[in-house]
Amino acid sequence: DVKVTQSSRYLVKRTGEKVFLECVQDMDHENMFWYRQDPGLGLRLIYFSYDVKMKEKGDIPEGYSVSREKKERFSLILESASTNQTSMYLCASSPGGVMVSGNTIYFGEGSWLTVV
Amino acid sequence: AQSVSQHNHHVILSEAASLELGCNYSYGGTVNLFWYVQYPGQHLQLLLKYFSGDPLVKGIKGFEAEFIKSKFSFNLRKPSVQWSDTAEYFCAVSTMEYGNKLVFGAGTILRVKS
């Protein structure tokens, strides 16, 4: 079974703090993604990566950055957390090189981040 | 840019009722279509997907979906729901022109009363 593990399930951070969300996948997938999930808005893509040290902006990259130093690990960074970044963050991975059509994306269990 | 619309945000059904969740997308080219489900406290799981062939796709747990190209739709159906189908359901689309990244609808929360 594919396993996508997000290290923190629940976090509470203060406004202005730097926040790291870590994600590891164990299936040697090339592609990794970070989404945020908000009620009534579904999932929105923040950043994705299709190879080590490669990253591409998704639909809502503002206020976020990412790091992919190793194939299995994809980190989301909030440089200076703000209250409007309170959300559920989902990491995902999929096989294939550059976004192969029809590839299934596998999701982690999510990280609930509250910024106060 | 492509977008996905799910018509109902909340649906409440009794057990054994039939289910149909609407999904429309806005893109005229070749699309790949997906339905994901998120049970309470669990991660998103793939229910079914379509990328070519028979437009009637069968997935896990008795779900099916029909791709109707002329209507830009990919509605999810189940003839008889169970209490355990209570979950949030997401429709998603990917296209080659958008780098095959998934674009999700807003989700539909289904509650099945026992």
pLDDT in tens, A18-69: 999 999 999 899 889 999 999 889 999 999 998 898 999 999 999 999 999 9
Q: What pLDDT does B96 receive?
A: 75
pLDDT by residue (tens digit) across A91-102? Answer: 999 886 555 556
Q: What is the pLDDT of residue A97?
A: 55
A 10 A CB-CB count for B24 gives 18
Return the pLDDT at B47. 94
Residue A45 and residue A67: Cα distance in Å, rounded? Answer: 15
| Interchain proximity A107–B51, CB inside 8 Å | no
| Number of Cβ atoms within 10 Å of the Cβ of A23 | 25
A70-87 average pLDDT score? 97
Q: Which residues contact A71 (CB under 8 A, 6 or more apart)?
A: A28, A29, A30, A51, A52
Chain A within 8 Å of B60 (Cβ-Cβ)? no
If you write DSSP's letter for every residue of A97-114 in order, what string do you get?
SS--TTPPPEE---EEEE
* SS3 state at B29: coil
**Integer CA distances (angstroms), B76 to A59, A110, B69, in order:** 26, 25, 15
Q: What is the pLDDT of residue A99?
A: 53
CA A1 to chain centre: 20
Cα B21 to Cα A3: distance, rounded to the nearest angstrom: 29
Of A58, A90, A100, the CB nearest to B44: A90
Please say if the pLDDT value at position A2 is more than 70. no
Q: Give the per-residue pLDDT at B86.
A: 97
User: Rounded to a whole number, what is the largest CA-CA distance in chain A?
Assistant: 40
Residue B51 touches partner A, C-beta closer than 8 Å:
yes
Q: What is the dihedral of CA B96, B31, A58, A100, to 10 degrees?
A: -50
Report, as ranges of residue numbers, the positions in chain B whose pLDDT lies below 50.
none
Helices and strands (H and E) in chain B: how many? 0, 12
How many helices (H) and strands (E) chain A has is answered by 0, 12
Of A44, A45, A109, the CB nearest to B43: A109
Determine the pLDDT at residue B94. Answer: 86
- pLDDT, average across residues A78-106: 84
Q: What pLDDT, on a 0 to 100 scale, did the predictor assign at position A102?
A: 60
pLDDT of residue A100: 58
Closest A-chain CA to B107: A42
CA–CA dist A20, A30 (Å, integer): 21
pLDDT of residue B13: 97
